[in-house]
A and B are shown apart, each in its own frame.
Chain A
Amino acid sequence: MAMDLRTSLPAAAIVIGCTLVVTVRVALAPAPVPRRHATPEERAEIAEAIAVAERTWADETVQNFPADRWSQRDDFHGREYRKAQEIADEKGIRIEDVLRAVDDDIHRKQAKTGSEPDERNAYAVPCKPRPFYD
């Protein structure tokens, strides 16, 4: 029994110690500081830049994935993602502000019902992942 305690107590202390150290370090790890907000002028500029770029993406995505609407849209968003990152890095602003600028721009001409014409790929293309991965 004494032998048990001689080994088990320090062992238990190690387990508790490790758990505490990891937990405390996780809890106290410095939170990254977000970049600055975009100015209204920058937001307008970003919205315009993405809207212009979208026109070229459409043809490319159709060529990459003929007759596959979800893959085309996903390719479109892949390009949008790169462009948004590029703009955020270039201007040193939050990526959220880039996304918000685009979304506000899309919402600027607001649709009242689901059947109105869609000029900005704002309607949903149901998720239909390609059936192979090899």
Chain B
Amino acid sequence: MSMNNIGRVTRLSGDQLPELPGGVTFTGNRALMLEEPLLFELGSTDRCGVDLQSVPEAMDRLGDLARTAPIDLPGLSEPETVRHYTRLSRQNYAIDLGIFPLGSCTMKHNPRLNEKMARLPGFADIHPLQPQATVQGALELIDRLAYWLMTLTGMPAVAMSPKAGAHGELCGMLAIRAALDARGDSRKVVLVPESAHGTNPATAAFCGFTVENIPANARGRVDVDALKARLGPDVAAVMITNPNTCGLFEPDLVDICAAVHAAGGFVYCDGANFNANVGRVRPGDLGIDAMHINLHKTFSTPHGGGGPGSGPVVFSEALAPFAPLPFVRKTREGFELVEEMQARESADHNHSFGRMVAFHGQMGMFVRALAYMMSHGADGLRQVAEDAVLNANYMLASLKDIYTAPFAETGPCMHEALFADDFLGPVGLTTLDLAKALIDEGFHPMTVYFPLVVHGAMLVEPTETESKASLDQLIGAMRSVAERMLASPNDFRTSPHLAPRRRLDETAAARKPVLGYKAA
């Protein structure tokens, strides 16, 4: 224990924490760590946090279809509502609090300018079905964003409406299906690397394709020989992630694309990891046919605790005619939103596979993404990729002497560094234990147990918006935790100890699901 010059304790180690008198507090709170009951335990159906006008006199047209039975929806006054949600918010980790090194998720800073721009009434308070003459600025914004996406990827077409990454994958794979159908080709097999995101095989299956895995080589890349050997008249497409989910660039991608095309197939690229390439490599130069772009990853729109996302898809010339509706076109009179009927008459779009969503896509995310792109510009985006890759390699270089680093010897990584838990094997601890120990250190852990090709994977993606000091602190914590885990493993089997909750029983949650509140 150390003290400052007025005798106040400045540092306590874990075993020196004083016990609370009696061991517990009356409230269950611990100073700023506040417990919060459920809304259903706080509110009541007669309480209301809005003042509404009175109901005007008019004939009731619902008759016996009026809802008369209780709905049982509790309300709260405005101060109680604000407090309920503010208290809950404090039980969350977030980028605004610290580094969020979740591999393959690109948790970068979310600029507040984006939020301000998306809330301009000219974007936020317009209806998707207003006459087009009244929304020319909105269509112009979509057109401008489309131009940025096509230019950054070096691809000739883009579909804007997909609502998230997996929805973009679906868009790309449907275009491939439509293109094959248009030439009367019934190929059914889609090749997916073992290391792919789970959404890839799920999407391919959703489109009626049969999924086959392609193995990785010892260097963590696609086994090109195995892939080429499998190509043939039954292979519709290859879905490939670049950089791949081990955080490595696929150096043979140009060769792979050429081989797939020669065999009559298409190449779908999962663009989840585009942050490593943005402004520095155009995927179009590699020969791909379609790629989705997660605006909520590379282009800084907030993740919001699980969405909303946005997943525009860029297309090659071969797939462009099959892209979905609607789309924006620039005409002499202004911008035109091309919906159902006109599309069939338009020469460039008469093969469209149809509509993927009601209305036109995630406008709110479009505004944020464009604000971000304009802020960075072509030069800034190049720097984004470079700093993202630099930060990841710095993490790799600073930890690979302690942490098992499966592919570190094959050269630099891209935007994320992959580790494994082999080094913890001798003391019987795992990746999960390490992740939970990092929670006690005040960090959100890295992605764990993904990709599946590595035992006990830990995928660290710092992003470019972390300073060197921030990385050094995480590196220090990761080294310290690893050393302590190896020295006294029993201290770490039940981490975290300091979070709002200890380890949660997920098995019990799944065995007997309680998915909504029921009064006791």
Co-complex (A, B): no
Binding site for A on B (CB under 8 A): none
Binding site for B on A (CB under 8 A): none
